[in-house]
Chains A and B, each alone.
Chain A
């Protein structure tokens, strides 16, 4: 079963909300970590709703809105969201109010919005969608699970599915992760795949996609398959699983025009991908994306947005490339993602 991508919307640390943007003007972090470049939400969300929404909800609803408008539809058969941390800002607000006031004088708004399914349910409320509604919250599989689920829904008879990945960070979340040495200062002089130090580039963002069971005049690309790997034992085992995955789609690595790899600049987490890189470069063209998006649980949603754009534009921009090699045309893009060196995934995106 395939899923045809009929609409996309993306907010990230690049100007992805702007439909004309294609990796030409690159934004670097203003400080030493990435923030999402957020639009004026009034264009996308009714003011009475906007007032109460946390940032994750705003990013999610706005990008869902963009994807739906691009697809030119009013209704969907399912809404599936993925988020590793959920509405962290509201969770933290309620937590701190509770701790600072010894459990007194609390109001429910931030508690209500702290639940992980808030974005999915807000979209259902706005669209009056009574159909299937799911929220996945599994680390670096949160977004992958939404795509996997869509493919199953299509085989079960659904036609149109809205999927998205949403992540927000807060100043305190950044402070704590810095204290725990989980991320390091952004250094544009060291290519991500060559890093020799620990630490990621923390970021946030949201991307939504309207997926369709059938190809239509709006179809931009197709997702031909997705597979997750939990704690693979070696780079060789990933390569072996990748071969089997591609074979399932009657392809081999040499058929892949661009391979988007999830290098994070953390030497330990990137270890297997670094081992795979020469193998990939032998047969295909390697590229990467987290030096532009930063790393977060659902950064693979940014990668899917990127893959869709590459197929649409038929060009691999310099900003994404790892070597001087460029594909003549782009028919198949393979995303090989990893999160914390634990959650790996393959996503095959093709011209349709």
Chain B
């Protein structure tokens, strides 16, 4: 029953580029996408930094070539990234194989709802936000432009969402329910999420400093990333080319606190260990860890502690790439999956920007400059509110 699962297409849009090639240029030149807020309307625009996609909604509509007035930023960027991934993989959904679309989001249509919510009670003009407010809208938009889609669903497990979308796609193929799937996540910036994180007091006003002793919090970002994954049988049937293999995944819950991670990172440790067990790899077989590394005092300490508990002193090279993109919430795990594949394809480890001082007591030092070395295996972690912990392991083919 259990067939191998391959990644065959990548698509991504975020603060560091509107597509995968642009993102690779930014990553390999240590060029962050985080800066002054230009597109989000908020009274705090001059007080904080964010990782915005450098396009207005009108420009996104032109790029995706869909001018349905109901569309919102979340759907534009989801469609752009999914289109890129499908084109890259070269799949044809009309070829008779079963295709799924499994997406994830936390903010969904809130970015548009918040613009019109109060006037909805008086004017009819924007009542259509009721149709696009929910999490399923962007997923169905992707399914509709692809056509011939056999399964659609959407996941929302906070900042681990896209890791779970990737995992579900793998499981559905292995269980014989699908032949391939377009999997990933999307979250556009909204005033709602920005203010939510601000009330939690976990936003850094400067550039975020993952794994640094003096880290103050995260920078929010926005983005979408999708991967085409295929079972080995489907791939053979269409003579497709694999970019990487997904060899391990695990989903656990920290069950410690609604928003905070346990100090020892219990759920995170479980996720990493279970993903390793599934992959059949030993800790020393991992070449690189793409950390969740948000830059908040709580996450990085908890994740660092969990990672050390699994890997001991023989820690692989690691970095958080959130200082490039900002924390893109539901999209972060798929953005980081794309980055992990790029790392293997181009034999590069992308740096953990803005790091100077190791966390006291942990002594973990991430890669701070671009490293050229063969990367055959990558562990990628994602954790979220509600204790959701997910780890994925990718292997070069």
Contact = CB atoms under 8 A, between A and B. Distances in A.
A121 B113 contact: no
B258 interface: yes
Interface in A148-184: 148-149, 152, 155-156, 172, 175-177, 179-180, 182
A124 interface: yes
B251 A134 contact: yes
B145 interface: no
B153 A130 contact: no
A305 interface: no
B121 A176 contact: yes
A96 B113 CA distance: 11
A112 interface: yes
A106 B117 contact: no
Nearest to A113: B258
B156 A137 contact: yes
Interface stretch (B195-203, B237-245, B353-361): B195-203
Contacts of A149: 168
B361 to A, nearest CB: 25
B114 A133 contact: no
Interface residues of A, number: 61
A131 interface: yes
Interface stretch (B74-82, B312-320, B385-393): B385-393
Nearest to A99: B118
B277 interface: no
Contacts of B135: 84, 86, 116, 137-138
A39 B1 CA distance: 46
B114 A95 contact: yes
B245 to A, nearest CB: 19
A187 to B, nearest CB: 23
Contact of B156 (A99, A135, A152): A135
A112 B200 CA distance: 9
Given A115-B156, A130-B266, A149-B168, A137 B255 contact: no
B154 A130 contact: no
Contacts of A279: none
A114 B385 CA distance: 11
Nearest to A83: B156
- Which of A85, A118, A176 has the most chain B CB within a 10 Å cutoff? A176
B253 A179 contact: no
Interface stretch (B64-72, B136-144, B340-348): B136-144
B127 interface: yes
Interface in B112-155: 113-114, 117-118, 120-121, 124, 127-128, 130, 134-136, 139-140, 143-144, 149-155
A112 B118 contact: no
B60 to A, nearest CB: 23
A166 to B, nearest CB: 13
B226 to A, nearest CB: 16
A107 B255 contact: no
Contact of A121 (B106, B196, B200, B258): B258
A138 B200 contact: no
A108 B199 contact: yes
A121 B388 contact: yes
A132 interface: yes
Contact of B124 (A99, A128, A156, A179): A179
Contact of B196 (A114, A133, A231, A342): A114
B43 interface: yes
A152 B175 contact: yes
Nearest to B101: A230
A180 B253 contact: no
Contact of B44 (A103, A114, A139, A175): A103
Nearest to B150: A230
A230 B149 contact: yes
Given A176-B120, A177-B130, A122 B155 contact: no
Given A95-B114, A120-B386, A131 B252 contact: yes
A346 B365 CA distance: 53
Contacts of A230: 140, 143, 149-152
B43 to A, nearest CB: 5
B151 A121 contact: no
B170 to A, nearest CB: 11
Contacts of B369: none
A307 B165 CA distance: 30
Interface in B88-110: 105-106, 108, 110
Interface residues of B, number: 65
A89 to B, nearest CB: 14
A180 B153 contact: no
Contacts of B124: 179-180
Given A114-B196, A121-B388, A133-B251, A155 B175 contact: yes
Contact of B155 (A128, A129, A137): A137
A94 interface: yes
- Which of B42, B155, B177, B199 has the most chain A CB within a 10 Å cutoff? B199
Contacts of B177: 148, 152
A111 interface: yes
B308 interface: no
B171 interface: yes
Interface in B145-188: 149-158, 164, 168, 171-172, 175, 177
Nearest to B135: A137
Given A103-B44, A124-B255, A133-B251, A176 B134 contact: no
Contacts of A129: 253, 255
Contact of A106 (B42, B105, B168, B195): B195
Contact of B134 (A84, A107, A113, A136): A84
A210 B385 CA distance: 24
A27 interface: no
A102 interface: yes
Nearest to B200: A108
A46 interface: no
Nearest to A126: B255
A107 B196 CA distance: 8
The 10 tightest CB contacts between A and B, nearest first, are A121-B386, A111-B196, A116-B156, A139-B136, A137-B135, A138-B154, A108-B199, A133-B253, A137-B156, A117-B386
Interface of B: 1, 42-44, 105-106, 108, 110, 113-114, 117-118, 120-121, 124, 127-128, 130, 134-136, 139-140, 143-144, 149-158, 164, 168, 171-172, 175, 177, 191-192, 195-196, 198-200, 251-259, 266-267, 270, 384-388
